Structure 1
Amino acid sequence: MTDVVLSTNRLFKSFGALRATNDVSLDLRKGEIHALIGPNGAGKSTLVQQITGHMMSDSGSVQLMGDDLSGKGPAARARLGLGRTFQISSLSMEHTVLQNAVLGALGRRGDVMRFLRPVMKDQSLLSSAQDALARVGLAEYAAMLAADLSHGQLRQLEVAVALTLQPKVFLMDEPMAGLGLEGAQQMIALLTELRQSAPILLIEHDMDAVFALADRISVLVYGQVIATGTPEDIKVNPEIRAAYLGDEVPT
């Protein structure tokens, strides 16, 4: 399909006798949020690491805009347009909010070894970083140390850093983790806006957020995609509801 931005084709990954991903094929289309759900240990994080290049697949391929990413590492894939946020923060806590965003923009150039002080005088990098902070609502916190931000603000900063990469795709690993109701609502609003810039592959345990955001949902169990469909398709699937969703499905 011409609107497919990211796709995986028959991805496999085993650790000894454990098959973490087993023949996983799915796609992400322009303008959509595609949620990936499943129980703990289903292989969701392994799949994301295969997509980003942090983990090499035993077999299968990942394509971005029709280009095969095989053999490319995480930095190269990020520069090509894979913007990722992490389940556990990967930010530099001793640097300011603006410095973190500038470092993200620098990574897009593939020049991450430059010293930070000269980089902070680069107007192109500063402009990219400031624009990203403004989009996520952190412009007024630019001079604050990342260590002094709230948990919700740290998640926003991770999104801003991903934005500086000018991504073609967002890969988001539990962006709601640790957020209260207000923080989750703010993140839902942010992701709803961001999908206009780039589609989002979303891994999330918060079922309220998943059903509020997703256009399609894939269910991963024991490394296999057992179902893909609209939120309504997934809600009414009795096997999935009984085994994996239970009372978590919003009514």
Structure 2
Amino acid sequence: MTDPILDIRGISKSFGALKASNNITLDLHPGEIHALIGPNGAGKSTLIKQVAGGLTPDSGTVHFAGQDVTPLSTAARAQLGMGRTFQISSLAMEFTVLQNVVLGALGRRGDVFRFFRPVMKDKQLLEQAHTALEQVGLEDFHSFRTSELSHGQRRQLEVAVALTLEPKAFLMDEPMAGLGAEGTQRLMGFLDGLRQRAPILLVEHDMDAVFALADRISVLVYGEIIATGCVDDIRGNPVVRTAYLGEEDAA
């Protein structure tokens, strides 16, 4: 098997007496979708923040593209090719679709001062932005205001912004959230093809989507990985079933 592009080793994080992450180890290999699932409050968002660089673990390491990135910032990890999309959109709704992607391409250069110069006339940035929009199927919408897009199209736009980073992997936090059945099916088809460009660590509550897309699934409960395996392994795992039945009984 090829070396993992993302290798999380023994990550732990506590907030007072609460262990949000407890010795978590998992990895992501080229060409795969590795889904991270678990009940509300399991620690999924805390883990993703540690992987992305927004939160420093108490112990353990995050290796990305063969490098220990544990001490690096979110921006530095993005520069290395870690692309992230968020549960809550971080897009500038008043900007056009193209402007959002151009700003993403600008961020990859690390030239923050260019924001004050006419970036929308920069041929290289525009070419990168249009290429990314073509790849996600939004080129025909480049002049639309982002606020005019559907929820699913905004998810695609977030991926287009991430693509300008030339990502080696994606971290996706509940991309199906708020989508109807049609939008979910469309986004699932898109993500299925996207894995060949860059593997995806997918946090998702939509179990139909997870079972349809994931090559492997890790189950996080109370800050601990209780199982990792293929779809059939997870479906038939009695410990996993008990964990989810427990969530339903408590609801």
State the TM-score, normalized to the length of structure 2. 0.95
**Structure 1: how far apart are the matches of 2:7 and 2:101?**
28
- CA deviation after TM superposition for structure 1 residue 243, in Å: 2.6
Render the CA deviation track for 1:128-171: whole Å, top value 9, x for unaligned: 11111111111111011111211111111111111111100100
User: Structure 1: any 5+ residue segments left out of the alignment?
Assistant: none
Q: CA RMSD in A?
A: 1.4
Q: Decide whether aligned partners of structure 1 residues 106 and 181 sit closer, same or farther in structure 2, where only a CA change above 3 A counts.
A: same
Amino acid at match of 2:219: V
Aligned with 1:201: secondary structure?
strand
**Structure 2: how far apart are the matches of 1:221 and 1:185?**
27
Amino acid at match of 2:168: K
**Structure 2: how far apart are the matches of 1:190 and 1:8?**
26
**Structure 1: how far apart are the matches of 2:240 and 2:115?**
51
User: Structure 2: any 5+ residue segments left out of the alignment?
Assistant: none
Amino acid at match of 2:31: G
> How do 1:31-46 residues align onto structure 2 when only pairs under 5 Å count?
31-46=31-46
**Structure 2: how far apart are the matches of 1:220 and 1:128?**
37
- Report what 1:76 is aligned to: 76
- CA deviation after TM superposition for structure 1 residue 88, in Å: 0.2
Amino acid at match of 1:62: V
Aligned 8 A contact 1:11 1:22 in 2: yes
Aligned 8 A contact 1:100 1:161 in 2: yes
- Report what 1:204 is aligned to: 204
Aligned 8 A contact 2:171 2:200 in 1: yes
- Report what 1:93 is aligned to: 93
Amino acid at match of 1:106: L
Matched positions, count: 247
- Report what 1:5 is aligned to: 5
Render the CA deviation track for 1:169-197: whole Å, top value 9, x for unaligned: 10000000000111111111111111011
**Structure 1: how far apart are the matches of 2:113 and 2:218?**
39
- Report what 1:240 is aligned to: 240
Aligned with 1:228: secondary structure?
strand
Whether 1:30 and 2:30 are equivalent positions in the alignment is yes
Amino acid at match of 2:167: P
State the TM-score, normalized to the length of structure 1. 0.95
Aligned with 1:211: secondary structure?
helix
Amino acid at match of 2:151: H
- CA deviation after TM superposition for structure 1 residue 245, in Å: 6.5
